[in-house]
Structure 1
Amino acid sequence: MDLMKRYYVYAALFAFALTSCVKEDLEQGTPAPAPGTEVKLPADAEAGELLIKFKPEMSDILDRTFTRATRNGGSGVMTRSGIPSTDEILDILGGYHFERIFPRDERNEARTREAGLHLWYKVKFDENADLHEAARRLSLLGEISAVQGNHRIKRAYDAKRLKTYMSNAAAQRLSATRAAEDDIDFSGLGLPFEADPALKYQWHYNNTGDYSFKENNPDAKVVAGCDVNCVEAWKMCTGDPSIVVAVLDEGVMYTHPDLEANMWKNDGEVLNAGKDADGNGYEDDVYGYNFVEDTGLISWTGEGNTGHGTHVAGTIAAVNGNGRGVCGIAGGHDGSGSGVKIMSCQVFAGDMSSTLDQEAKAIKYAADNGAVILQCSWGYISADANQAIFGTVLGPATEEEWEATYPLEKEALDYFIQNAGSPNGVIEGGIAVFAAGNEYAATPSFPGAYSKCVTVGALDAGFTPSSFTNYGVGVDVSAPGGDMEYYGKVGEEDPEGWLDEGGTPVMGYGSVLSTWFIDGQPAYGYMDGTSMACPHVSGVAALGLSYAVQKRRHFKADEFVSLLKQSVKEIDDTYLKGNKLYYYTHNYASAPATKMALADYRGKMGTGMVDAGKLLKAVEGAGLEMKLPNMYVSTDGSATLDLAFYFENGRNLTYTVSVADAQIAEASVSGTMLTVGGVAAGSTKITVKPSAGQEQTMIVTVRKNAGDSGWM
């Protein structure tokens, strides 16, 4: 104890000396620090803002400052850190805002601290201060381990162009109740649900090779089987509500009649209550959270919103079997919410987008609130993009450059990849899925190109790369993304489309059809992009995990990603020779044809096109069999466990439970949820008997200081 006191006395004296030197340097213009100490800042970093990470030795001081700021319901926003040397610099910079980036969530604080995320803070100061100089001086302080700029993330699509076409499409509004009558007979496909009307236009799920859009360009190819093989997969599984996919995008229209039943809901919260009822650090987060505007109200109707997030969500989990609209890859089978759940983590709102700290919050929120897949159809502009077309602010060229420039983003992604899911659930860790980008470039964009993420390239309906897709060795897999620059009719400007009132497609034939809205009303529309390919992979992964629930298989995240990459359709043989002609830009009447050499893409579109049928078959014999885990509870506490994960067809069974020693623990079952309460210190055996299949036993250990995840 005395040693610790002496350490802090020394640290304080050192900090005092250092701050005096730094202040003198700044005020008197003494020589700058040695080369190599400059912090790399993106060209579009926000003025007057920096994100800083402190060293672990500063935890106690920061915790005391944070506690004072949150006492009596305080917001947690401070003006100073409580660390003399840091505060001296903030004084000089005109600092007025000091805030811990990740709010305190007692349920997850231990792992937050283990990951070091509690040490990240945002500081705001005079916007006229030299940002590079401020970053460099802060980085010299002994108590700070990282400094980075704070800029706004970018859409991987042109929001202005989409907004224009939405306006043009307003008169073509689709009835939200039902599309056209089927003219394709799905009865012979063996689907476990009555096919929704617009499934016939979703070639990306079931490509018969028989689509009229190839007539626009006589040379364009449509190949039967160029799809993600939903039909075969649906015969085995259609989704499971325990699997949650976080959509980091524009806000998802959670009232859309083809999405509503499959939306994730935080039952502990109430909309507009102005209260953090579940204590996770976010008020009113019923369907997720709007990180752009720092509110629990997910928005989608504001000026500049394109429907992108709603479109992406529909590909993953539009409700199947409800007699309306489209199908989702993992949308269930009976229209009642039997599909996977969509959590809306809003990082774009109208013309606004999230800053890097808001994006990092969204990623961590997803992990801490039950999501196991991160769906991200956005990213930086590829380092190989044409600057004359895409601007001068290009993204990182290498993983090392990305990590050096955006360390907070990397740590947030690592947190999700390592901490989502559960060691007692179907997956331990999380899967982050990113679009490769739409810059026609030979390298995918970051952060998707990070080696621990799954990066998705886009294909047309004939197995060839979409004209716009980024490609390269950083792409992991490919999926349907459409290509109206290839399939579009020459002379027509609109590359995308919608369904008219009768349910007939208006243009957009070679694009991806999904849920949408027009003028704030539910609709269905076509879009192109790696943004559209990406949710196909998220949906297939979610369907695979749903089948793992059904088959009681447990995976580590990296094991499941490997399985996903292996379960593909071969595409490289298509790229041995030949060219693909497309019309660059979206005014086909004036644009010359562009020749794309297919050989350039060989080995650079990932392992192949994802295949849901193959993945589900691979799941059957992979991973570990899930059995009831042992549990740890405190004498005055309780823990819960979803029994559906541990018994064959577990969600459709009923359960009875018995405790060997009621003096030690008590247990009850409600639906599929087992609740175990501690009575007295000791251990006992609990037996769970299902209505069908074999019973299982588990050991429950009760101690004074135990939690449901182990010893505390």
Structure 2
Amino acid sequence: MKKKYLYTALFALTLSACADEDIVEQPSVPQGETEVKLPADATDGELLIKFSPEMTDILDQTFSRASRSGGMSRSGIPSTDEVLDILGAYSFERIFPVDEKNEARTREAGLHLWYRVKFDENTDLQEAVERLRQLGEVSKIQANSHIKRAYNTKRTYVSESALQRKSMSRSGDDSAPFTDPGLAHQWGFHNTGSYDFTGNALNAAAVAGCDVNCYEAWKLCKGDPSIIVAVLDEGVMNTHEDLRDNIWVNEGEEEYAGRDADGNGYKDDKYGYNFVTNSGVITWSDASDTGHGTHVAGTIAAANNNGIGVCGIAGGDGTAGTGVKIMSCQVFSGQSGVTLDQEAKAIKYAADNGAVILQCSWGYNSGASNAVLGYTPGPSTEEEWESLYPLEKEALDYFINNAGSPNGVIDGGIAIFASGNEYAALPGFPGAYSRCVSVSAVAADYTPSCFSNYGEGVAIAAPGGDLEYYGTPGETEDEYWTSDESQAGEGTGTTTKTLGSILSTLIRNGQQAYGYMEGTSMACPHVSGVAALGLSYAKQLRRHFTAEEFVDLLKNTTDKSLYNGYQDGVKLYYDGHTYPGASVTRMELGNYIGKMGTGLVDAGALLSSIAGAGSEMKLPNVYVGTGASYAIDLASYFVNGENLTYEAASSDEATAAVAVNGTVMTVTGVKAGMAQITVQVSGEASQTIVVTVRDKANDNGWM
């Protein structure tokens, strides 16, 4: 009996950013240009403004008064307010909410100077921009469009939900390390080369080893819950049976409570935040939701070894608290997408709440996309992108600079984007930004996915599927066959017939499911998962990296087989394979040599290189108030730290006292001043930290 799987048909020909990705079309208005052009889809009655640093005190005073009175409509800067009066502005709001814990670094990055201004919808935005850009107090202006989907959400589901039963054949793969039945069909994790993709006569067979090498990596590490990946996408289904154990939880916050329990500026953000509705409630049941966010989350962190569903690259080993955590930063819901100010808030939220990897399977059209085919080309250069999207760049820089910790596994954050699916010789931005990681897609035989963008700016390649290569012309519904051990007499017991695209967790009609998607959107979370697994292993070895060091290691440990003869000659595929008259199209593979990134991301090679890379973790210096205490779990900073013994001594007990209980060191401030504390580990290694004691420190020890 044939068992149909849920499959999301994402046809690259009909998309503008990538086969299953989302697109922003929003130029800003940089000051100093002789002519200002606003996009046709600019949000009526809204502008985003950044003030010069000299205006900080005035803005702070106005913001403080507004916080007491309940709102603000003016800046407090006379020249600016005169223009706002003329334009009829009625709302003037700081974009990034105050989070006392992170306000200092917010100001250092200049993000406190960004404001959103609202006018009557009939206000001439062109006039508003021209007036405001003449003010010396204003340094940047941009319009505020919505991020848009680049695919038709009404035709993404085309067959029955997959893997609904708890057991099914694993196709005789005795080497599989986990019990999850779908693992045998996740060729991107472990490609045996034996898959039957059922499609047309054009495709080559799968090639063993064209995968991210999970089996080797899993011998060393399966994940660590201290590593948090922020998924900027549709809402991640946090109740999904294969994800719920690996969902980030903001302790102390509760949904629907109506309060900001942790003081980070966001109410009820228990599992992340819904930036579409400006609510702490993550959603996934709109009729137009595709499950896209849940699908990418599963590739990264579906729970491993639980006997159901699929595996995640960093999903743990089946015991509680072993997988990485997924933070849902929802930027799409139904047919709606966030405005650009909300996108920037989502990026900053991720950094401020512990995420170290930003998973972004969306982006602008490639600057080299073909307008004849219906694409609207996006920025072509980093300079053009920066001038058009200054707020977006500043938010990304904030994440890259401020995520993580100088005393943790990684100092800084890694922003990973899909390269786009316009068949173009240039990746889309923001992923093509030199500080981000742009991911291209390959089919199961090392050839470039026909739709994948490539070229300068692509950092790395990963499995993304290719249904125009493997699919059957004229068929809009591909099927999945396997034996089902729960029903006697059904199935062959050995057949593994899959789609050549990417299997993961999914949603259908608001309910949990499993199914297939393709695109650089699906390649992107393979890299996010490998990066999360690598950081998990670094935590295990107590190794420390800067974000730049780790990205370099990620690029330098790729599988170069991608360029070993698999890009010779031509590749044929059916352009628009779901149509009966789909035409055979040629790809000149030589055009892709050296342009898909440094190679195919390789988890095994990455983890094997971590022990000799980076540096040892260092204990943090301590700031504490007089009469207050600060505790450090020393086990987090030394290999096998749970089983070591520790001694600690203060250079000045009259200033800072110290005590050790098991692996926990507690520092107590006695009087204002400074002291050094030396920690001796099992009679061998030692580290020395500086303790600063001051009066009137707040509860966490910072002044």
Pair 506,584 (structure 1): closer, same or farther in 2 beyond 3 Å: farther
Question: Does residue 356 in structure 1 map to residue 346 in structure 2?
Answer: no
Deviation at 1:216, TM superposition (A): 4.3
Structure-to-structure mapping, 1:556-567, within 5 angstroms:
556-567=546-557
Question: Does residue 106 in structure 1 map to residue 100 in structure 2?
Answer: yes
Pair 502,467 (structure 1): closer, same or farther in 2 beyond 3 Å: farther
Corresponding residue to 2:591 among 600, 625, 634: 600
Supply the distance in 2 between the matched residues of 1:237 and 1:109 (Cα, whole angstroms).
36
Deviation at 1:502, TM superposition (A): 7.6
Question: Does residue 283 in structure 1 map to residue 267 in structure 2?
Answer: yes
Question: Does residue 538 in structure 1 map to residue 528 in structure 2?
Answer: yes
Supply the distance in 1 between the matched residues of 2:148 and 2:485 (Cα, whole angstroms).
36
State percent identity of aligned pairs.
Answer: 62
Q: Could you give the per-residue CA deviations for residues 451-476 of structure 1, whole angstroms, max 9, x where no partner exists?
A: 11000000000001101111111111
Supply the distance in 1 between the matched residues of 2:483 and 2:34 (Cα, whole angstroms).
59
Pair 567,348 (structure 1): closer, same or farther in 2 beyond 3 Å: same
Deviation at 1:336, TM superposition (A): 1.7
Deviation at 1:334, TM superposition (A): 2.3
SS, match of residue 564 in structure 2: helix
Deviation at 1:153, TM superposition (A): 1.6
SS, match of residue 213 in structure 1: coil
1:615 maps to amino acid: L
Deviation at 1:185, TM superposition (A): 3.2
- In structure 2, the residue matched to 1:178 is 166
C-alpha contact (below 8 Å) 2:168/2:483 kept by paired residues: no
1:536 maps to amino acid: H
- In structure 2, the residue matched to 1:24 is none
C-alpha contact (below 8 Å) 2:439/2:527 kept by paired residues: yes
1:270 maps to amino acid: E
- In structure 2, the residue matched to 1:591 is 582
**TM-score normalised according to structure 1 size:** 0.88
C-alpha contact (below 8 Å) 2:299/2:311 kept by paired residues: yes
Supply the distance in 1 between the matched residues of 2:141 and 2:383 (Cα, whole angstroms).
16
C-alpha contact (below 8 Å) 1:664/1:678 kept by paired residues: yes
User: What is the total number of aligned residue pairs between the two structures?
Assistant: 665
Deviation at 1:93, TM superposition (A): 1.7
Question: Does residue 490 in structure 1 map to residue 473 in structure 2?
Answer: yes
Name the structure with the higher helix share: 1
Supply the distance in 2 between the matched residues of 1:210 and 1:368 (Cα, whole angstroms).
45
**TM-score normalised according to structure 2 size:** 0.89
C-alpha contact (below 8 Å) 2:470/2:500 kept by paired residues: yes
- In structure 1, the residue matched to 2:507 is 517
- In structure 2, the residue matched to 1:438 is 421
Supply the distance in 1 between the matched residues of 2:324 and 2:662 (Cα, whole angstroms).
19
Corresponding residue to 1:451 among 428, 431, 434: 434
Supply the distance in 2 between the matched residues of 1:334 and 1:51 (Cα, whole angstroms).
46
1:359 maps to amino acid: E
Deviation at 1:691, TM superposition (A): 8.6
Supply the distance in 2 between the matched residues of 1:522 and 1:498 (Cα, whole angstroms).
20
- In structure 2, the residue matched to 1:231 is 215
Q: Could you give the per-residue CA deviations for residues 600-632 of structure 1, whole angstroms, max 9, x where no partner exists?
A: 111210111000011111111111111323322
Supply the distance in 2 between the matched residues of 1:607 and 1:539 (Cα, whole angstroms).
18
Pair 387,672 (structure 1): closer, same or farther in 2 beyond 3 Å: farther
Supply the distance in 2 between the matched residues of 1:658 and 1:565 (Cα, whole angstroms).
40
- In structure 1, the residue matched to 2:605 is 614
Structure-to-structure mapping, 1:30-69, within 5 angstroms:
36-69=33-66
Higher relative contact order (CA 8 A, sep 6+): 2
Deviation at 1:182, TM superposition (A): 2.5
Question: Does residue 704 in structure 1 map to residue 695 in structure 2?
Answer: yes
SS, match of residue 147 in structure 2: coil
Question: Does residue 573 in structure 1 map to residue 564 in structure 2?
Answer: yes
1:539 maps to amino acid: G
Structure-to-structure mapping, 1:458-469, within 5 angstroms:
458-469=441-452
Corresponding residue to 2:368 among 384, 392, 395: 384
Question: Does residue 647 in structure 1 map to residue 638 in structure 2?
Answer: yes
Structure 2, unpaired ranges of 5+: 1-30
Question: Does residue 95 in structure 1 map to residue 89 in structure 2?
Answer: yes
Supply the distance in 2 between the matched residues of 1:273 and 1:301 (Cα, whole angstroms).
21
Supply the distance in 2 between the matched residues of 1:43 and 1:395 (Cα, whole angstroms).
14
Question: Does residue 527 in structure 1 map to residue 517 in structure 2?
Answer: yes
Supply the distance in 2 between the matched residues of 1:679 and 1:364 (Cα, whole angstroms).
36
Pair 304,588 (structure 1): closer, same or farther in 2 beyond 3 Å: same
Structure-to-structure mapping, 1:121-520, within 5 angstroms:
121-155=115-149, 157-160=150-153, 163-166=154-157, 168-169=158-159, 171-172=160-161, 174-175=163-164, 178-186=166-174, 188=175, 191=177, 194-213=178-197, 216-217=200-201, 219-392=203-376, 394-494=377-477, 509-520=499-510
Supply the distance in 2 between the matched residues of 1:213 and 1:545 (Cα, whole angstroms).
34
Deviation at 1:100, TM superposition (A): 0.1
SS, match of residue 538 in structure 1: helix
Supply the distance in 2 between the matched residues of 1:497 and 1:42 (Cα, whole angstroms).
44
C-alpha contact (below 8 Å) 1:478/1:610 kept by paired residues: yes
C-alpha contact (below 8 Å) 1:441/1:470 kept by paired residues: yes
C-alpha contact (below 8 Å) 1:239/1:543 kept by paired residues: yes
C-alpha contact (below 8 Å) 1:315/1:539 kept by paired residues: yes
Supply the distance in 2 between the matched residues of 1:142 and 1:525 (Cα, whole angstroms).
54
SS, match of residue 462 in structure 1: coil
Deviation at 1:490, TM superposition (A): 2.6
